[in-house]
Amino acid sequence: MFGRRVPPHIVFAFSALLAVVCAALALLAVRSHAWVWVAVGAVLAVWFAVDAVRSYGWAQNKKVLDAEKAARNAQNHSKR
């Protein structure tokens, strides 16, 4: 988006928040027997929950890659 990527922890936070909001709205729709809105809310809640899990995985992968890069840099500096 606009040439820059959004950090994974920000994506995780907003996706988790939106998943909770959509699930809550789906539950409110159940109480009012609005079944189309129940389906829409449930689908969106699952969508955002899956997105949150994926972004959490990206964040963990980034931590591992950063640690490996730091270890390689430290090893290269110690050889000099």
CA distances from 28 to 39, 65, 66 (A): 12, 42, 43
Q: Is position 17 within any domain?
A: yes
Percentage of residues in the chain with pLDDT exceeding 70?
94
Q: Is position 27 within any domain?
A: yes
Q: Is position 1 within any domain?
A: no
Instruction: Give the pLDDT score at 80.
Output: 63
Residues recorded for the chain: 80
pLDDT tens-digit series, residues 14-52: 999 999 999 999 999 999 999 999 999 999 999 999 999
Instruction: Give the pLDDT score at 39.
Output: 97
- Name the residue range of residue 70's domain: 8-79
Q: Is position 2 within any domain?
A: no
- Cα 28 to Cα 55: distance, rounded to the nearest angstrom: 28
Count of domains for the chain: 1
Tell whether pTM > 0.85: no
For 4, which DSSP code? S
Query: What is the distance of C-alpha 75 from the center of its chain?
Result: 33
Instruction: Give the pLDDT score at 2.
Output: 63
